[in-house]
Structure 1
Amino acid sequence: MIALLRGLLAQTETDRCVIDVQGVGYLVQASTRTLAALPHPPELARVLVETVVREDAILLYGFADAQERDWFRLLTTVQGVGAKVALGLLSTVAPGELTSAIASGDKATLTRAPGVGGRLAERILSELRDKVGRMPAGPGGTTLPSTAVGGGVEHDALLALAGLGFRRAEAYPVVTRILAATDGTASLDTVLRESLKELAR
């Protein structure tokens, strides 16, 4: 199994690249996020690789970092999410936003990705909600506990903020941070007031 490639970047396309390792060109499928992180051909490139063996082909999927590779592995555990859909999700939604979207049940964020309709988005939310807390959120997100989906003040605050036009993916990290800072004792009014201060910046 190939886990890492380091060689000259021979060419890039919209969804793949070719890496020349000592005269052998490896075709690597990748997200737009990873492709954007690569140097210009023919400079030296390094990508982490997930090797997928099928009956008719051996396919290589490349990632700029371990975080994106781990998300690819997690997404492809969901029935109906193949490698192409997983790369589409990773191209459209940053890992930190994925963490928040899944934990907060934000279906609209997931359906922005090509190939992800409402039914598949619901399946992703259902199957990964309990697993997302173990995933690093990275820049732009918050690492969430495994019990990220809660009720009570948190639930009511998110509903109220959604009614004011804030997306769940942006409101969720703010609400959970405020609740964590008060050990979960803050009232709904306090959470809303502090959340609006932060979200309005």
Structure 2
Amino acid sequence: MIGFLRGTLAAKQPPSLLIDVNGVGYEVDAPMSTFYQLPETGGEVTLFTHLAVREDAHVLFGFATESERVLFRSLIRVNGVGARLALAILSGLSTDEFQRCVSQGDALSLQRLPGIGKKTAERLIVELRDRLPQSTSAAALPVGAAADPAREAFDALTALGYKPQEAQRLLKRVADRADSVEELIRLALQSAGAQ
């Protein structure tokens, strides 16, 4: 899996980017929210990535922040939402705006996005209401920035399939007994197994 790319921005034409990483040109599709944060062509860029492997192609998607990538991955798990629609959602709403729409059941705001009708908006709300973390501010850190150990442990637990509320509950139970991300995760998993 390719976790992130750091290189020179060789070309950009929405939704596609070409990033030169030590002489290898990576074609990357990105939402407009990422495009707004890009430097001029020739500048250095770092993007979180998601590699989609299909029968006919390997497609690399790039994101300016981890929160965008987390939301993209949540979106493509929803029945009827593919990568292109997920990019359109990220292009039309910030991660915080999308979370607000889901938590408040605001289907009308979601329907204003291209490609989203009433049924898709309702499906997004129902399927993602319990899966999205309550805040994306810690996940909005760029690649290489120091992150909060509790947030990193939370992200790891949700990646393992725990619902956000369950992950938060497990971490609260062991927060005062751990000094590192790894220890937090280990103790939280032990706590879950002891139930």
Q: Give the aligned residue type for 1:30.
A: A
Fraction of identical pairs, as percent: 41
Q: State how far apart, in whole Å, the 2-side matches of 1:131 and 1:89 are.
A: 17
SS in structure 2 of the partner of residue 98 of structure 1: helix
In structure 2, the residue matched to 1:122 is 122
Instruction: Describe how 1:32-111 pairs up with structure 2 within 5 A.
Output: 32-111=32-111
1:78–1:127 Cα contact (<8 Å) kept: yes
SS in 2 for 1:34: helix
1:141-156 aligned at under 5 Å gives the runs none
User: Which residue is equivalent to 1:138?
Assistant: 137
**Where does structure 1 lack aligned partners over 5 or more consecutive residues?**
140-144, 147-201
CA distance in structure 1 between the partners assigned to 2:87 and 2:96 by the alignment: 15
Question: How far apart in 2 are the matches of 1:129 and 1:2?
Answer: 28
* One-letter amino acid of the structure 1 residue matched with residue 94 of structure 2: A
Instruction: Figure out how many residues of one structure are paired with residues of the other and give that number.
Output: 140
* AA partner of residue 14 (structure 1): P
Query: Please, what TM-score do these two structures have when normalized by structure 1?
Result: 0.66
Distance 2:54 2:13 in 1: 23
Deviations 1:161-186 (A, max 9, x none): xxxxxxxxxxxxxxxxxxxxxxxxxx
Task: For residue 128 of structure 1, report the CA deviation from its aligned partner.
Answer: 0.9
Partner of 2:113: 113
CA deviation map 1:54-93 (0-9, x unaligned):
0110000000010110000111110011111011001101
Runs of 4+ in 1 over 3 A off after TM superposition: none
Q: Which amino acid aligns with 2:137?
A: G
TM-score normalized with structure 2 length: 0.68
1:16 touches 1:35 (CA, 8 Å); kept in 2?
no
Q: Provide the secondary structure at the position in 2 that maps to 1:12.
A: strand
Q: Compute the displacement of 1:136 (Å).
A: 2.4
Q: Give 1:137 deviation, angstroms.
A: 3.6
For residue 22 of structure 1, report the CA deviation from its aligned partner.
1.4
Does the 8 A contact of 1:93 with 1:109 survive in 2?
A: no
RMSD: 1.5
SS of match in other structure, 1:56? coil
Q: What letter is aligned with 1:58?
A: H
Provide the secondary structure at the position in 2 that maps to 1:51. Answer: strand
Larger radius of gyration: 1
